[in-house]
Amino acid sequence: MNADDFPTPDIDVESVAPESLKDRIDAGEDVTLLDTRMQSDYDEWRIGGETVTSFNVPYFEFLEDDIDDVLERVPDDREVTVLCAKGGASEYVAGTLAEHGYDVNHLEDGMNGWASIYEAVEVERYDGAGTLLQYQRPSSGCLGYLLYNDGEAAIIDPLRAFTDRYLEDTADLGVDLQYALDTHIHADHISGVRNLDAEGVEGVIPEAAVDRGVTYAAEQSSTSPASQARQDADLTTAEDGDTFDVGDATIETVSTPGHTTGMTSYLVDGSLLATGDGLLIESVARPDLEEGDEGAPEAARMLYESLQERVLPLPDDTLVGGAHFSDAAEPAEDGTFTAPIGELVEEMDALTMDEDAFVELVLSDMPPRPANYEEIIATNLGQNAVDDEEAFTLELGPNNCAASQESLAGD
């Protein structure tokens, strides 16, 4: 049954905007969520939080003639927010519950609406030239970085779903978006580099990723003059040591292979290292998404070398800003998921182990691979064409690009 096929409830049910729900969770309010998706979808990916009580009752159980047993599983002593994939089933279920006297509302646009939340938070501890923002997508834990200075800007690890957002934000700031840089060929979301390149922004990918079969022709995403002018342009490739000027600030390319052979970090004006998936504030990268289980040990050793020789020698106060965070991650005081290198060395056992122990630990406890990761990789390589709606659907779910946080975190 499609969302449009559900009967309209006989009682009006209030809808809750995804942003409002997130504000309540961020404020530490107790929130009770009834997720009506299939159990397999619920088990794979759901809304979490310390003050969130979440439980699953698939929507079809509310379509039965006798639902007394189902109603007994729904608490009647508190407000319940019902959600589904797109908002249709949850409105029906919430209406059914309201007719039985429950205090309920439903999440507008369901998990698709939750996946549309994208927030920009200033990295206050950044002390380089200009201003640095961290984009945060709570549904999948994806992070990106916007640096702007002296009328120019650059975005690191942009998401295709938010191409217009970057252009609108930089226009509002009165700056020209010069560069869109990817740290690597992502496996959990569709990159926005090609779409931004088609809009006149210089798209940049790591030179080290070329051997994976990247197709360079920028996809034409609109009929704007900028798009017409760049539709046949090649993406720029960044080699280790290359620099990109953004006003008075400089972004330096730092090769850090391991998560992928092309994994590249970007040192933002000597203050923050945008590490992609190589090093996160709670874990390190998983090494099996490019060459599978067979190639994972070699990739893990490559990752160890990158961390020890390219990342950890940086000054202790250099901020680390990864491309992901998990539900368990604690933000810094400024609300960003960043941390100084020195602090991570003190807290993360994996960063002080010898190579053999590191490899054994990383390979011992990896989560399931990201949903649709093979198709996402092919799309990011330019080998698979999908429209915007399909691209959005492909990346729904957890990112799972890190090794297990439980095995890598300190005591």
**Antiparallel, parallel or unpaired: β 339-340 and 15-16:** unpaired
CB-based contact 351:345 (threshold 8 Å): yes
What type of residue sits at position 398?
A: P
Range list of β-strands (E), 18-116:
31-35, 52-56, 80-83, 104-107
As a whole number of Å, the end-to-end CA separation of the chain is 48
What type of residue sits at position 220?
A: Q
- What distance in Å separates the CA atoms of residue 193 and residue 200, rounded to the nearest whole number? 11
Q: Tell me if residue 84 is catalytic.
A: yes
- What distance in Å separates the CA atoms of residue 168 and residue 159, rounded to the nearest whole number? 14
Listing DSSP states for 230-254 in one string gives HTTPPPEEE-TT-EEEETTEEEEEE
Q: Quick one: which of 126, 142, 125, 145 has its CA closest to 134?
A: 145
Any residues with CB less than 8 A from the CB of 12 and at least 6 apart, and which? none
Any residues with CB less than 8 A from the CB of 10 and at least 6 apart, and which? 95, 99
What type of residue sits at position 196?
A: L
Alpha-helical runs (H) found in 45-138: 68-71, 88-99, 110-114
- What distance in Å separates the CA atoms of residue 48 and residue 397, rounded to the nearest whole number? 13
Of the listed 84, 107, 177, 394, which one is catalytic?
A: 84
Phi, then psi, of 349 in degrees rounded to 5: -55, -35
Q: Among all residues, which ones are annotated catalytic?
A: 84
